[in-house]
Amino acid sequence: MSTSTTRHGEPADAGRPGIRASAIRTAEAAGGALGQLIGGLGTAMLALAVLVWLAVAAVTSVVGVGLLMAPAALRVLHSLADRERHRLARWGPEIIAPDPGPTRLRLALVDPTTRRELRWLSRHGTLGLLLGLIALLLPLMAVRDALFPLYWRLMPEGSTSTSVGLGHAQGWADALGVTLLGLGWIAIILGLTPAMARLQARPGRAFLAAGPDTDLSLRVAELTATRAAALDAHATELRRIERSLHDGTQNRLVTVTVLLGAARRMVARDPAGADELLERAQSAAEQALAELRSVARGILPPVLADRGLEGALTGLAASCPVPCRIDVEAPERCAASVEASAYFVVAETLTNIAKHSGAKSATVTVRSRGGRLRLDITDDGRGGADEAGGSGLTGIRRRIAAHDGTLDLASPPGGPTTLKVDLPCGL
């Protein structure tokens, strides 16, 4: 069987894996951009509504009605700006929020944060809304036109053929021409939606971030506390490893040494007794080896490197006494330290579920997109989980804080218990 080659002697299909990977990356980027644009459409519609509200308040302020409406409108403006900051943080770098803006009209008129939020509101409620609507319509138009030959004969006579309302299909040639238009929409989606998403997000990143005159001392204090928590968690982990080695493995190896010495002295006068001691020494050595492997897995599980996060979590679920379902959708890999933290968070949480919850089932959902890794761990147990109860939640929170992530726990009495973790993927 012959293989075709290029001019330089390389196989003709040598570049196909690279082309396939590039096509997959392009499709994933376009899909993520569409999701970002459509998500921005929601805040853009709210921005337009708030913009109209503020305009009405400004016009009616001359008769006093607008002065009564202004505080509520300003509160909604600040809340919407916070929502947009969180949305943009899910798709890219975190936006450091400035100090909360005032809701009193006189103070808001001279407040730089409010002015910047108003500038964002006017741009996102117009250009952002337009870009979001285009992103919503493009996939519909692409599907409608690309599949036109499958249903064009079923359309009423005289109806337009294309999604833009132009042309009438008189035969198969016209129908295939509409399909070419659908392929053009697909090319636009693949080529332009990432730039459209960046354009939609630009006003938010420019105007909603803390300005140069903003006091960042609170953020510095938060980062200082996070670093202290990370160092504390690191010291705690080192103490755990030291105790495991000292109390477990070291004692086993001492036992092996003692048994081997006793067996060497007995081998001449009591071969049977020496053989029994050697068996005990071998058993102790095997236990020491197992404990060393356990300690090594506790530092950085090798299964993460071998099988990835999905495979590692599947192994945790298989060994969990409570039936556990794993749902992982993580097309983009995170930093090794982040994946290790996610693994240990799930491991500790499943241990807590097995020990304390009385649950009959648990679910672990993992999603990785937009530079963030999100974990949702739910069980149907009795609820009532409390960080102060010594269930390991404090250690989990410290481990997450070390990566500047967040943890939300909902565990009402009677259940269910839900643990939500959000981590940056890192580099």
Q: Which residues are bridge partners to 368 per DSSP? A: 373
Identify the pLDDT of residue 179.
85
Identify the pLDDT of residue 268.
75
Residue 132 pLDDT more than 90? yes
Residue 298 pLDDT more than 70? no
Q: Name the more confident of 110 and 216.
A: 110
Residue 8 pLDDT more than 70? no
Q: How would you list the strands of the sheet with 406-410, edge to edge?
A: 324-329, 362-369, 372-379, 417-424, 406-410
pTM: predicted TM-score of the whole model, two decimal places: 0.52
221 confidence band (pLDDT: 50, 70, 90):
low
389 confidence band (pLDDT: 50, 70, 90):
low
234 confidence band (pLDDT: 50, 70, 90):
low
Of all residues in the chain, the percent with pLDDT exceeding 70 is: 80
CA distance 9 to 1: 17
Q: What mean pLDDT is predicted for residues 158-165? A: 67
CA distance 160 to 167: 6
Strand ranges (E), 154-203: none
Domain parsing of the chain, residue ranges? 16-207, 235-299, 306-424
| Least confident stretch, 4-8, 130-134, 390-394, 403-407 | 4-8
7 confidence band (pLDDT: 50, 70, 90):
very low
CA distance 162 to 144: 8
> Regarding beta strands 417-424 and 362-369, do their DSSP bridges make them parallel or antiparallel, or are they unpaired?
unpaired
CA distance 271 to 35: 75
Residue 189 pLDDT more than 70? yes
| Least confident stretch, 52-61, 123-132, 401-410 | 401-410
Identify the pLDDT of residue 279.
81
Q: Name the more confident of 237 and 320.
A: 320
Q: Name the more confident of 118 and 22.
A: 118
Identify the pLDDT of residue 202.
93
338 confidence band (pLDDT: 50, 70, 90):
confident
| Least confident stretch, 107-121, 164-178, 396-410 | 164-178
CA distance 37 to 357: 40
| Least confident stretch, 182-191, 224-233, 249-258, 372-381 | 224-233
Identify the pLDDT of residue 47.
93
Residue 286 pLDDT more than 90? no
Q: What mean pLDDT is predicted for residues 8-28? A: 67
For helices 336-352 and 302-319, angle between their N-to-C axes, nearest 10 degrees: 20
Q: What mean pLDDT is predicted for residues 128-141? A: 93
What's the CATH fold of domain 306-424? Heat Shock Protein 90 (3.30.565)
Residues whose CB is less than 8 angstroms from the CB of residue 415 and which lie 6 or more positions away in sequence, other chains included = 357, 359, 379, 380, 381, 382, 383
Identify the pLDDT of residue 193.
92
Two tokens, residue 88:
């943009």
Task: Determine the 3-state secondary structure of 367 from DSSP.
Answer: strand
What are φ and ψ of residue 364, in 5° steps? Answer: -120, 120
Contact (Cβ atoms closer than 8 angstroms) between residue 92 and residue 370: yes
43 confidence band (pLDDT: 50, 70, 90):
very high
Identify the pLDDT of residue 130.
95
> What average pLDDT does the structure give for the chain?
79
Identify the pLDDT of residue 200.
93
